[in-house]
């Protein structure tokens, strides 16, 4: 080994779907995927999951329990789906308890195209206040320590190059008592469902991607990245190792997706 050769070559490469790529190259590859599909992203979510992603997101919001005055950081927030749902639910609670400060959300994403689509959606819904849009990396958040009541990351962690660094950032920005929630594709726990889901993912989703988003490769990456993502228990251990406590996991649709919940103590 030469003096400049890395001791562990594994650290120099990362998964990009089923391919191993240079770690330094992965952020751009992921960014290109989302830049290409941004305008079709929300429609594709509905088509691919037959609308079920809405139920999963509703389950996430139920866990989050939005209240007036709460400050949410939604990382890898893309087109703002979680933040907009959070604010809508918090507003509903506020109407029943007038006089409280409004809830606030910051959507943080590294992709300018996804954020642009998100801002447009917010404007279409008349949501101009109490929401901010920040272009930044999950691994280096421009957010003060211990400043957030809640941190969410929905279908984002799988795309992040430095998962452990992103989890440490989540622990850093949460206040003591702050809630961490991760909604992500996971590993199917029902054997009867596994085969069907495998066939659907590898045969149907890339085809839908080709027809609707005109991008088969982007949706092949999606399916492959799901297979490479850590299973429920392994992810739970990494969340705990990052400094978050009371880690719980709830499987959704037989483990097709899962919500990991944890707290900053």
The residue ranges that bind ligand SAM (CB under 6 A) are 30, 34, 76-78, 81-82, 109-111, 114, 137-139, 154-156, 159-160
Name the residue whose CB lies closest to ligand SAM: 78
- Closest approach, Cβ 164 to ligand SAM, in A, equals 12
- Closest approach, Cβ 109 to ligand SAM, in A, equals 5
- Closest approach, Cβ 45 to ligand SAM, in A, equals 6
- Closest approach, Cβ 94 to ligand SAM, in A, equals 24
Query: Which CB, 117 or 249, lies closer to ligand SAM?
Result: 117
Query: Which CB, 16 or 155, lies closer to ligand SAM?
Result: 155
- Closest approach, Cβ 156 to ligand SAM, in A, equals 4
DSSP three-state, residue 78: coil
Helix pair 112-124, 41-49: axis angle to 10 deg: 80
Asked whether 227 and 187 are in contact (CB, 8 A), the reply is: no
Asked whether 73 and 151 are in contact (CB, 8 A), the reply is: yes
Cα distance between residue 1 and residue 24, in whole Å: 22
Query: Which CB, 94 or 113, lies closer to ligand SAM?
Result: 113
End-to-end CA distance of the chain: 44
Helix pair 216-228, 205-212: axis angle to 10 deg: 150
Query: Which CB, 104 or 154, lies closer to ligand SAM?
Result: 154
Helix, strand, coil shares of the chain, percent, nearest 5, are 50, 25, 25
Query: Which CB, 17 or 77, lies closer to ligand SAM?
Result: 77
Beta strands in the chain (DSSP E): 13-16, 19-22, 71-75, 104-109, 131-135, 148-154, 174-185, 245-252, 257-263
- Closest approach, Cβ 8 to ligand SAM, in A, equals 22
Query: Which CB, 94 or 169, lies closer to ligand SAM?
Result: 169
């Amino acid at each position: 080994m030469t003096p400049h050769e890395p001791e562990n070559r594994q650290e120099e490469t990362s998964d990009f779907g089923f391919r191993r790529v240079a770690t330094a190259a992965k952020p751009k590859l992921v960014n290109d995927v989302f830049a290409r599909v941004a305008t079709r992203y929300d429609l594709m979510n509905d088509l691919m999951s037959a609308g079920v992603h809405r139920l999963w997101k509703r389950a996430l919001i139920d866990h989050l329990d939005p209240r007036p005055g709460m400050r949410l950081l939604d990382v890898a927030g893309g087109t703002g789906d979680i933040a907009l749902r959070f604010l809508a639910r918090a507003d509903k609670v506020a109407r029943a308890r007038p006089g409280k400060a409004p809830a606030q959300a910051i959507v943080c994403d590294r992709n300018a195209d996804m954020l642009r689509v998100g801002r447009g959606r917010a404007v279409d819904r008349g949501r101009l206040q109490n929401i901010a849009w920040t272009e930044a990396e999950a691994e280096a958040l421009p957010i003060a320590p211990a400043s957030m009541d809640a941190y969410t990351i929905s279908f984002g962690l799988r795309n992040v190059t430095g998962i452990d660094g992103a989890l440490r950032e989540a622990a850093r920005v949460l206040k003591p008592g702050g809630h961490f929630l991760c909604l992500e594709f996971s590993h199917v726990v029902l054997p009867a469902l596994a085969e069907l889901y495998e066939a659907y993912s590898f045969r149907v989703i890339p085809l839908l991607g080709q027809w609707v988003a005109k991008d088969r490769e982007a949706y092949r990456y999606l399916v492959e990245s799901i297979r490479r993502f850590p299973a429920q228990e392994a992810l739970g251990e990494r969340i705990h190792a990052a400094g978050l406590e009371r880690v719980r996991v709830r499987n959704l649709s037989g483990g097709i997706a899962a919500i990991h919940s944890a707290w900053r103590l």
